[in-house]
Structure 1
């Protein structure tokens, strides 16, 4: 995906009130279809993004009016770092206005073996700082660097995002190629 298209995608996906009535909306309010890496279940939304930006955190930690632009990483060379970011929006809140989101994390090597397989990892627990339908970054950020001896080919990232209060389970999937 070229940079211009990625900017449009991020602007669509990171619209600060983009999840409503069970679908993602673009900046004009038009529905955007679900993909493997961006979907909604009911009003709960999830997004999975792999970026090569070493400054992803600085880009994310801006005012809600600023839409960050991330460079999507689809091809990675050995020795280069990438970061898998998990986003969510509009979780169910309890009586104390707190969310409870966990996720299963799995990375599958090109040979079919698992590099990571963690279940029920805390993604977010507690009070949201802002409106529930804002986009939030989940706690786990997967930092990957291709090392000598790592198999080349397609690595698959499978994340199952779980809104435990609303009993919603959302599978998200993306991939990158290690060369």
Structure 2
């Protein structure tokens, strides 16, 4: 999988709701984009969470580096529908000995009744030799959610904590979707 893309993360997450101002993320013209619960930076590490219905998300990502992938976003799914929870990171720090990054992720998907659908800790998300620090990378850990007929209706909470073990920093991200 070609995880490296030289495109602005703003194109992926531009339609997420805005909560506070930050200077890490920029649109294609270089203008700063405010942070959201699903797109943040901390101590130089940028991370973004995207929920998409795009079954072809891998093909969209694996296009030529000069092509900007465009992902649909959604916050709703009906019985039989499928969602993909993707995590993007930028400005990776490299271990001076190995020359590699060490990014792990904690994932939680919580049903409307408060019980866990997914709860995973320290999943390997990105261990690579990165290029330019401004490049955006797609984590190799993605969650596929299929709305089964018996799944509880209502708001499902999604939490991803991206951890850069080299930098010793974590970026918590949150989003949600509705099963109707």
TM-score by length of 1: 0.86
Structure 2: distance between partners of 1:12 and 1:48: 9
Match of 1:11 in 2: 11
Match of 1:161 in 2: 162
Unaligned segments of structure 2, at least 5 residues: 1-7, 15-21
Match of 2:32 in 1: 31
Match of 1:119 in 2: 121
Shift of 1:11: 2.0
Shift of 1:10: 4.7
- CA deviation digits over 1:112-156, x for unaligned, max 9? 11111111111111323x323211010111001010211010011
Shift of 1:55: 0.5
Please identify which structure carries the higher strand content.
1
Match of 1:5 in 2: none
Matched positions, count: 165
Structure 2: distance between partners of 1:173 and 1:9: 17
- CA deviation digits over 1:40-91, x for unaligned, max 9? 1132100100000111100011122211111102110010111001000111
Counterpart check, 1:42 vs 2:43: yes
Unaligned segments of structure 1, at least 5 residues: 1-7, 15-20
Supply the RMSD in Å over aligned alpha carbons.
1.9
TM-score by length of 2: 0.86
Match of 2:4 in 1: none
Counterpart check, 1:76 vs 2:83: no
Match of 2:109 in 1: 107
Structure 1: distance between partners of 2:72 and 2:37: 18
Shift of 1:168: 0.8
Q: Call closer, same or farther: CA 1:54–1:10 in 2, change over 3 Å.
A: farther
